[in-house]
């Protein structure tokens, strides 16, 4: 995959500023890279996803390019057509081809559907007791993707599709933990405490660091590196909880996802939320992306309907 020209390229890896591990034996970035190596089935991004992302990142790509890639994968085509023909879109007639879907819904809508449909199958691994289910993480990730894209579109930023993808993978480090360190993640989940509304009262990231040696940000950043994703995605995965750790000129996408994460948690009835105990949106986050308090208010109003739609579209594989 070619590096994107979006914000935040050509910079040091997010893993370089990872929080210190409690284990004296391993540096967190090495720990995470070793974990990623051990789970080849998730560490290898499906070829089809790579091709679709290349199309997303190439401004000169056409509907024909996308049609060609998707049509090579009959299962993916079928999934996309099923979504397109679902009640959510309310189209008057059944759509029988990807080409027709692109001409009715637009290239961008079908690109996002294709990426989400191809990534959904990575969010496997089931449940850890009653407190964690990979399906809830997927549902949360889809919500963050939809909100991040909405924020970028509202602010007329040029990278709305990139924001969608960044939102979709921001917590993917938790999937690395689930697949590479299942017992330890189960121990983390077990140590968490919640108030009566389900809000965490303990610090998920601190417990991750104490139990696993690093948090899901570091694991996610390591996976982005293994996937050879553009650096900006490494930064978002690595620092979606603490964008201030990034140099100021590289924070935009991380702030968008940080805000989208908190908005998703405060709006969604279900969905993973163990790593977000405070849903306030920091003033410096709004200032950094140029969103006004009124703009944020408008986004909050639009959220419930948007999330219902997003969830209907991107069900887990
Ligand atoms: Fe997170
Ligand atoms: Fe999240």
R_g of the chain, CA atoms, integer Å:
19
Q: What was the pLDDT predicted at 72? A: 87
Distance 142 CA to ligand 1 centre (A): 13
Distance 264 CA to ligand 2 centre (A): 8
Give pTM, 2 decimals: 0.83
Distance 83 CA to ligand 2 centre (A): 24
**Residues 6 or more apart whose Cβ sits within 8 Å of residue 198:** 273
Of the listed ligands, the closest to the CA of 239 is 1
The residue extents of the domains of the chain are 28-45+125-313
Q: What was the pLDDT predicted at 316? A: 55
Tens-digit pLDDT string for the chain (317 aa): 433 333 333 333 333 334 443 444 568 888 888 888 888 777 777 788 888 878 877 888 888 898 898 888 888 888 888 888 876 677 778 889 999 888 888 887 788 788 888 788 788 888 998 899 999 999 999 999 999 999 999 999 988 888 998 999 999 999 999 999 999 999 999 999 999 988 999 999 999 999 999 999 999 999 998 888 889 999 999 999 999 999 999 999 999 999 999 999 999 888 999 999 999 999 999 999 999 999 999 999 999 888 887 776 776 55
Could you confirm whether domain 28-45+125-313 is CATH 3.40.640.10? Answer: no
Distance 134 CA to ligand 2 centre (A): 13
């Amino acid at each position: 995959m070619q590096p994107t020209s979006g914000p935040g390229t050509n910079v040091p890896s997010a893993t370089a500023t990872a929080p210190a591990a409690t284990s004296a034996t391993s540096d967190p970035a090495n720990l995470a890279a070793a974990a990623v190596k051990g789970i080849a089935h998730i560490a290898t991004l499906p070829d089809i996803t790579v091709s679709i992302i290349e199309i997303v990142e190439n401004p000169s790509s056409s509907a024909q390019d996308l049609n060609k890639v998707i049509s090579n994968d009959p299962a993916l085509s079928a999934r996309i057509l099923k979504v397109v023909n679902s009640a959510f879109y309310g189209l008057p007639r059944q759509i029988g081809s990807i080409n027709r879907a692109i001409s009715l819904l637009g290239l961008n809508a079908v690109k996002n559907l294709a990426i989400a449909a191809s990534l959904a199958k990575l969010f496997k691994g089931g449940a850890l007791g009653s407190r964690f289910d990979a399906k809830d993480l997927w549902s949360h990730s889809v919500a963050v993707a939809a909100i991040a894209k909405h924020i970028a579109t509202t602010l007329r930023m040029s990278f709305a599709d990139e924001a969608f993808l960044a939102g979709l993978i921001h917590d993917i480090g938790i999937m690395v933990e689930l697949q590479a360190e299942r017992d330890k993640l189960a121990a983390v989940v077990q140590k968490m405490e919640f108030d009566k509304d389900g809000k965490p009262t303990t610090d998920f990231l601190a417990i991750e660091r104490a139990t696993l040696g690093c948090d899901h940000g570091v694991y996610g950043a390591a996976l982005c590196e293994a996937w050879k994703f553009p650096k900006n995605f490494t930064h978002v995965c690595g620092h979606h909880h603490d964008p201030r750790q990034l140099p100021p000129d590289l924070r935009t996408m991380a702030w968008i996802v940080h805000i989208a994460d908190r908005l998703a948690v405060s709006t969604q009835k279900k969905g993973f939320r163990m790593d977000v105990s405070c849903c306030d949106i920091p003033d410096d986050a709004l200032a950094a992306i140029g969103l006004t308090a009124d703009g944020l208010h408008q986004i909050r109003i639009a959220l419930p309907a948007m999330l219902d739609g997003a969830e209907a579209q991107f069900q887990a594989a």
